[in-house]
Amino acid sequence: MSNIQVTHDTDLNNARSESSIAINPQNPQQIVAGSKKFKNITSYDFTLATAWSSDGGMTWTESAEIPIPGWEGISDPALAWDDSGNVYLAALPFSKVPAEPNRVGIAVYKSTDGGKTWSKPNLIHASGGDDKQWAAGDGNPASPFRGRIYAAWDDGSSMRFARTLDHGNTWIGTGAGPAGSILANDSFAPEINVAADGSVYIVWAAGNEIKMIVSTDGGNSFHPAASPAKGVTTLPALLPNGSFRVHTLPTACAGTGKSVVVAWADYREGLSRIYHALSNDGGASWTTGLSGQPVIPDPAAPTANQHHFHPQIVSDPNGVIGCAFYEFGLKPNAYLIDVIMARSFDGGATFSEHFTVTDQPWNPTVDAPWSNGNPNVTFIGDYFGLDASSEGFYPLWTDTRTGIQELWTERKYYLQQAVLFEHAKFHGAHKHVFGAEPNLNADDDGSFNDLVSSIVVLDGKWEFFRDAGFKGSYGTVLDPGIYPWVESVNIKDNDMSSLQLTGSVGLASTPHVILFEHANFHGAHKHVFGAESNLKAEDDDFFWDRVSSIVVLAGTWEFFREPGFNGHNGPGLGPGIYPWVESVGMHNDDMASLRPTSFEKLASVPHVILFEHANFHGAHKHVFGVESNLNAGDDDFFNDLVSSIVVLSGTWEFFRDAGFNGSYGTVLGPGRYPWVEAVNIKDNDMSSLRSA
C-alpha cells in the first residue's frame, strides 16, 4: 500500500517536522503523532500539534489545539502512554521567538481521550537551560512499576529526571526528591526506554562517547552501565550537499530479557552511517566491541553519495528490532531523502534485512524552515518518530512531496507464517506459526512437539531447533517455499521442538487452496499446496468425498471425482472464495484428487484466523469475509472460545453475540493479536465477526 499522509495543510508556513509517535500498549489501534507546527518558517516561529488515529494508523484526525497559556509556543515533542489509556506529551515551552534563548522549562500535558484533546500544561520543572526532553511509559503487564511515566532532559549539560507514580497528578525525581533530579553532568539529548520487567534505560551522547544508566527500582535510583560505544565520530553541522542541520543523537530500545540495543549516526568513514551496540545483560557488557558495529554491513553499506542519519530504534512485542533512519543522497540526479528501515530477528545481533519505506523520495529544500531564523541552515527536525506494536512498525517522518512539509507514516506490518504438518507431503494435522515459537510442547498446544514431517514457509526466513528454547539448531534456515519431507532439508523427522524467524523475504510463490468439510467454510479444513493425487491416502483420508466449500488463495485448480486426476468435478477455479461447491458446478462430497494448472497471485479476500488459546495456540478456524454465528450446528467449536487472532487481510469487526450484535467497538486490520483482551475483546466471548 502507498504511504499514509497524516497531516494536511495549505499554508507553506505550517511546515511540520521533528516528530514523535506513540502506540497505546493496551490497544494498538490507538496511536498519537506529534510534531512541531510552524507559524512562520523564516522566523523559526512554531508550536506543537498532534494528530490521532483509532484504526491502527490507517486514517488520522488533527487534535484540538494544545493550550500554551502565557507562552509563545512549545517545542520538542515526546509522547508516552501509561497503562490506563492516558497519553502524555512532554513539551518545552518558550517565551519569545526564536525559541532557543527563551526556554521556560519542562511542561507535561495529559490526554484521556486518545490524543483528541489535551489538558492544561503542568510545568514540572522551570529552567532556561532545559532542552531535549524525552518520555517513556511503563505499560508492561509483568512490570512491578506498571503505569509509571518517566521523563529526562538536559539543563545545560546536566541531565535531569522526573517520574509520576499516580498517572500524571504529581511528579517527583529519584527517591523522594522533587522533579528534576540530576543524573549526569555531561548529557546531550537523553532518551528513556523501559523493558518488560520494568527496568529503565537512559542513553545520551557525551562528546564522542555514548553513555547509559539503568534503574531497576522504578526510577528510585540509577546506576551506570558500561559504555555502549567510545570513539564516536560525531556528524558535522551539515551533511555534504545538504543545508539542513544534523546531530549525533543516540537511540535505544529494550528487547527481550536483559537485552538492550543502542544506535547512532557515526561519521568515522567520512560519511554518515548508522552504528549499533548490543548488550545481553542489561548494559553490564556489550557484544559489539568498544565502538559498535554497522547496522547495515558491507557490501550493502551506503555509498559516498548516500548518508544515513537520524536513527530511531524500537522493539516490537515479539522481540523483532526495527531501526528506521533517513537516507540523503543523489536519487538519481537530485539530493533527496528516503526513509529506510532495517530489522533484526535475532535480538539485535545482526540486521538481516533493510528496505525503503518511502514510496518516493522527498526534497529537504522544499518549504524548509530557517533554523533559528538563519537562512543558511534549514530545519527538517533533529529526529523523527518510530514505534511498534503487534501490527508492525510505524515510522513517522517529514515529507515534502505535496510541496509542504507534512507528516507521513507507513504501517510496515509483516505476517511471516510457517505451517507445520504432522506427516510428509503436508498430510495430517497442521499448525500455523506466526513468530518465535519457543516450545512446541506448551501445555495448551503440545500436539506438535517431536511431530513435524513437512513444512510450508508462506513468508519469512525460519530456523528450526530440536529442543525447546531455540536450542539444538539443525543448521537449516528455510526461505518461502514448500518442503514435503523435512529430512531432505536436514531436519530430523519427528524431532522438532522450537522455531523462530530470522528474516522477512516475501510470500512463497506456490499454489494454495483450502478445502472445507461443510458449506460456508465450516467444519474441518485441509491446506493443499500442489498436486494431491489421492485424498484417501492412508495418513490423510478425512477429506475423501468430503469437500463442500473451497477457498483458492493462489493458483488455478482442477478438481476430480476419482484418484489420479480422473473424472473432472466441475470447472477449474481461480483465486476466490466458493462457499458451496455445487454453485460452481461441482458435486458435493465427491472430490478425490486435485491439482493446480497455473500460479496466480493471492486472492484479495478478507481472511482472519481465530485461535482457541492466547499466542496462537490450540485449535484454529479460518474465516473469510463474514461469520454470523460461531455456534452454527455444523461448526460450533469456536463459539465463546477465541483468545487470539491473526488478521491476514482486510479490516474486521467483532461481536459478542450472533448476528453481529453486541459490538466490542474494536476494528482490527492486518496483524497479530496474541491476546484478545489487549484489543478490548473479551476472552472466550466472541460469537460473530465480519469484514468491516
State which amino acid sits at residue 342: A
Strand-by-strand arrangement of the 273-279 sheet: 251-254, 260-266, 273-279, 293-294
β-pairing verdict for 626-627 and 652-657 = unpaired
**Confidence band for 320, pLDDT divided at 50, 70 and 90:** confident
Which phi and psi angles does 654 have, rounded to 5°?
-130, 145
Mean pLDDT of 121-139: 97
DSSP, collapsed to helix, strand or coil, labels residue 616 as: helix
For residue 102, the tally of other CB atoms under 10 A from its CB is 15
Cβ-proximal residues to 514 (8 Å cutoff; 6+ apart), any chain: 521, 525, 526, 527, 528, 550, 551, 553, 622
Mean pLDDT of 247-273: 96
Are the C-beta atoms of 301 and 272 separated by less than 8 Å?
no
Mean of the per-residue pLDDT values of the chain: 93
Rounded Cα–Cα distance for residues 427 and 564 (Å): 17
Rounded Cα–Cα distance for residues 634 and 44 (Å): 67
pLDDT confidence of residue 392? 82
**Confidence band for 1, pLDDT divided at 50, 70 and 90:** very low
Rounded Cα–Cα distance for residues 650 and 604 (Å): 9
Rounded Cα–Cα distance for residues 684 and 338 (Å): 44
Which runs of E-coded beta strand occur in 331-380? 335-344, 353-356
Mean pLDDT of 467-475: 95
Q: Structural domains in the chain?
A: 4-409 (2.120.10.10), 417-507 (2.60.20.10), 512-598 (2.60.20.10), 607-691 (2.60.20.10)
Mean pLDDT of 189-211: 97
Which phi and psi angles does 148 have, rounded to 5°?
-75, 150
**Tens of pLDDT, residues 653-673:** 999 999 999 999 988 877 778
**Confidence band for 300, pLDDT divided at 50, 70 and 90:** low
pLDDT confidence of residue 600? 57
pLDDT confidence of residue 667? 84
Lowest-confidence segment of 328-332, 467-471, 530-534, 675-679 by average pLDDT: 675-679
pLDDT score of 509 more than 80: no
Residue 382 buriedness (CB in 10 A; 0-12 / 13-18 / 19+): middle
State which amino acid sits at residue 441: N
Are the C-beta atoms of 454 and 528 separated by less than 8 Å?
no
**Confidence band for 45, pLDDT divided at 50, 70 and 90:** very high
State which amino acid sits at residue 276: H
pLDDT confidence of residue 35? 98
pLDDT confidence of residue 576? 85
Task: Please name the residue that has the C-alpha cell 539485535.
Answer: 348
Paired strand residues for 126: 105
Cβ-proximal residues to 427 (8 Å cutoff; 6+ apart), any chain: 421, 454, 537, 539, 540
Q: Single out the residue of 570, 530, 524, 572 nearest to residue 544, CA to CA.
A: 524
Cβ-proximal residues to 299 (8 Å cutoff; 6+ apart), any chain: none
The DSSP output letter for 296 is S
pLDDT score of 28 more than 90: no
Residue 285 buriedness (CB in 10 A; 0-12 / 13-18 / 19+): exposed
Q: Which three cell numbers stand for residue 277?
A: 551496540
Mean pLDDT of 506-535: 88
pLDDT confidence of residue 648? 83
Task: Please name the residue that has the C-alpha cell 494498538.
Answer: 28
pLDDT score of 201 more than 80: yes
- C-alpha distances (whole Å) from 447 to each of 443, 451, 496, 551, 621 are 9, 7, 12, 26, 17
For a pLDDT cut of 90, what percent of the chain falls above it?
Answer: 79
What is the distance, to the nearest Å, from the Cα of residue 475 to the centroid of all Cα atoms in its chain?
28
For residue 214, the tally of other CB atoms under 10 A from its CB is 20
pLDDT score of 321 more than 50: yes
Q: Single out the residue of 47, 54, 55, 61 nearest to residue 5, CA to CA.
A: 61
**Tens of pLDDT, residues 352-387:** 888 899 999 999 999 999 999 999 999 999 999 999
Mean pLDDT of 11-33: 95
pLDDT score of 506 more than 70: no
**Tens of pLDDT, residues 534-585:** 999 999 999 999 999 999 888 889 999 999 999 999 888 888 889 999 999 9
pLDDT confidence of residue 459? 79
Lowest-confidence segment of 209-218, 293-302, 629-638 by average pLDDT: 293-302
For a pLDDT cut of 70, what percent of the chain falls above it?
Answer: 97
